[in-house]
Structure 1
């Protein structure tokens, strides 16, 4: 077993941290000692240290399997800043550059190398592996192996071969999102039956969860950004490419620096926009889910969704890209019943097997149940992953507990209308019938002649839509089999039709009280120093062509403001300042601090 003090020495002198967090120490001890590990740890929980430190403690080069070019580049940049001999092999390198990396790898000149899964299993790279001393294999984003998961990558299925080809070399698989079924599949496919499992809390206490009913999505988003995150870096997720383009253009008209990102853009444009987002501050990336996995930018202050995510796993992973530095961040979502209908239609019209469709339907139902919940968001979210918790005090439902109004009778009327109209019409038409609107469509189908016509005149449209959302969330309604976006009753509707199952809705409020943006500094002198340190950091980052956070993260700068170190020793005690960064940047930052 490795000496734990040696691991602490690497943690402090290379990475600049003075203590391990959570189960990091136990994971490092397991892998550095030659054991396999399966690690589930939330985004921002310090997963990378769990394989980086063992790689530096063991003989040979650590091989990190990552599905994303951006993550490789970021982590290699950061490791080089720390004085670690690291490199990556991916499609961005020329043949000469790739050859140089391979030569350094075989010669033993590298401490860590990042590769894509499809490259790792090629005969050429396997041959290189057999000629090189390997410290360990780290499989990042390991949930990609699951065919029932949300980011399935077929090339990950081949990684189980590492157990056969390289017995005795420790393997560590890591992910931030995996329910019990996905975890079992990871164990099976990656041949980790004997691995020690480390399951950390999924809680991200620095994230504030807020979910609102969609009325005018873009205007609601703008209000949220203006009040809480003016000038911050953020991500806005949309379901379609067109909505991404339109939203980014609209935000730019409102003088917010926004860029689009989706798979329909050419590779050079995507790379350029991603680079700007990572390197600059105050950029808002409007994107489809094609963007984000593996993005290592720690200072994303908000993640917003203009459409409903298709599963809690997706939502958890996407919101987890906010606040990776541990500082406060927002997870904001607006949705409507149309989102549910669209996602349901996408599931039904896909070419997936019936078994896969069933899995996706259940995941969507769980997501809908989450957004319609009236109790603590964090409790509901963590409960999905099998983790118990107390009310968090940092979500919309905790900060503004909803007032509940019984709508059991309205539920009966809503379901009766679905039945009387033939289990095949959408919400808009059903509400028209309930409210007694005599339009062409109602006349065409003779729905002015049925018993439910006009029985809901005294209830407004927004309330009827909320009733239907709740009934879909509770499984009493589903998409009509004809595939035209209509609703149909399920067996679960019977207790509601009989009035045996009560239905409560939250009373609608005019506005959610968004928290105003806070700098976190009580006096102007601290704010001045904060801005001066950020300016210096940006200047140094631009000179070296790396993201600003590679120099120092926001949390490290804030500690400098709070502690105001006066010499190199005091500066070295700041979290995030290792030996290399002390030597490289200590004098510049101490001089800036001394000015104020």
Structure 2
């Protein structure tokens, strides 16, 4: 239910007279509220308590036609004006790789972190399940040993870690510390292993790699999450690793057509390119 405090505040005469616009920052969550963010599912109820002439601004990084229709319906919007841009970003390269196991994947990451330490390209690894998130974190912690922190053999405090984790199970204090550290251009933290809890309101310009351990359920989720890379305009890579594709992805995600942009846009185009300038899509190891 919408908080009684919010309800009373909304219908109070002072606020009724002064509310001029109602802004939803992540409108996509309106469509996920029933399962993901429950409170968002009730925003439509809150909208009905506002004065009839209140303007509404719904913002979203991505929105398919069904999402648009859902948001308009939930917010009872009329005479809607749409301002939209394509989510395609020319500086993001896309690649897909099969992996044999989480252990093999973590070994490659650990090799790169040991060699490059605090110069390792800033990376976010999205896991669809908390168990995978936690397992990968523990594997990297074990494989890195004394190199888990920078400088090596330093005391294990959050501000010295090269790898950390962010999920709904993390405390508010820990989430704030991780975001504060990761947001620094020259942060010690280089690899963040996260669930979808990491996302809304986050804007870190120099993320060079977005890695998905197993594909998201929907192409809309994939576009949103890969869009967190390369916000400084420099080249970034979105790498999708998988083991059993048909078991983890909806048909809409598997059947999504590729829209190649030419040389260097993805690993598929790189295979047919003979320019000699296409960069590797392998994980950084040195």
Sort the TM-score into its range (normalised by shorter chain): 0.7 to 0.9
1:514 equivalent in structure 2: 281
Q: CA deviation at 1:174?
A: 0.8
Q: CA deviation at 1:248?
A: 2.5
Structure with greater proportional helix content: 1
Q: Does 1:268 align with 2:153?
A: no
Q: CA deviation at 1:160?
A: 5.8
Which protein is bigger by CA-based radius of gyration? 1
CA distance in structure 2 between the partners assigned to 1:318 and 1:119 by the alignment:
34
1:317 equivalent in structure 2: 224
Q: CA deviation at 1:295?
A: 1.1
Kept in 2: contact 1:232–1:282 (CA 8 A): no
Structure 2 vs 1, CA of residues 206 and 260 (structure 1 numbering), >3 Å: closer, same or farther? Answer: same
Kept in 2: contact 1:143–1:152 (CA 8 A): no
Kept in 2: contact 1:259–1:273 (CA 8 A): yes
Kept in 1: contact 2:93–2:264 (CA 8 A): no
CA distance in structure 2 between the partners assigned to 1:174 and 1:153 by the alignment:
18
Q: CA deviation at 1:135?
A: 4.4
Kept in 2: contact 1:208–1:331 (CA 8 A): yes
Q: Does 1:367 align with 2:249?
A: no
| SS of the residue 1:316 aligns to | helix
1:560 equivalent in structure 2: none
Q: Does 1:174 align with 2:80?
A: no
Task: Map 1:153-164 onto structure 2 (within 5 A).
Answer: 153-159=38-44, 161-162=46-47
CA distance in structure 1 between the partners assigned to 2:98 and 2:70 by the alignment:
36
CA distance in structure 1 between the partners assigned to 2:5 and 2:206 by the alignment:
31
| SS of the residue 1:201 aligns to | coil
Q: CA deviation at 1:296?
A: 1.9
Kept in 2: contact 1:241–1:262 (CA 8 A): yes
1:219 aligns with one of 95, 107, 115 = 107
CA distance in structure 1 between the partners assigned to 2:55 and 2:30 by the alignment:
19
2:270 equivalent in structure 1: 399
CA distance in structure 1 between the partners assigned to 2:283 and 2:193 by the alignment:
22
Runs of 5+ in structure 2 lacking a partner? Answer: 149-161, 274-278
Q: Does 1:239 align with 2:128?
A: yes
Q: TM-score, normalised by structure 2?
A: 0.73
CA distance in structure 2 between the partners assigned to 1:152 and 1:221 by the alignment:
32
CA distance in structure 2 between the partners assigned to 1:369 and 1:239 by the alignment:
20
Q: CA deviation at 1:122?
A: 2.9
Structure 2 vs 1, CA of residues 271 and 201 (structure 1 numbering), >3 Å: closer, same or farther? Answer: same
Kept in 2: contact 1:145–1:156 (CA 8 A): yes
Kept in 1: contact 2:34–2:41 (CA 8 A): no
Structure 2 vs 1, CA of residues 401 and 282 (structure 1 numbering), >3 Å: closer, same or farther? Answer: farther
1:295 aligns with one of 202, 211, 226 = 202
1:201 equivalent in structure 2: 86
Kept in 2: contact 1:150–1:313 (CA 8 A): no
The CA RMSD over aligned residues, in Å, is: 3.5
Q: TM-score, normalised by structure 1?
A: 0.38
Structure 2 vs 1, CA of residues 150 and 231 (structure 1 numbering), >3 Å: closer, same or farther? Answer: farther
Deviations 1:398-442 (A, max 9, x none): 12239xxxxxxxxxxxxxxxxxxxxxxxxxxxxxxxxxxxxxxxx
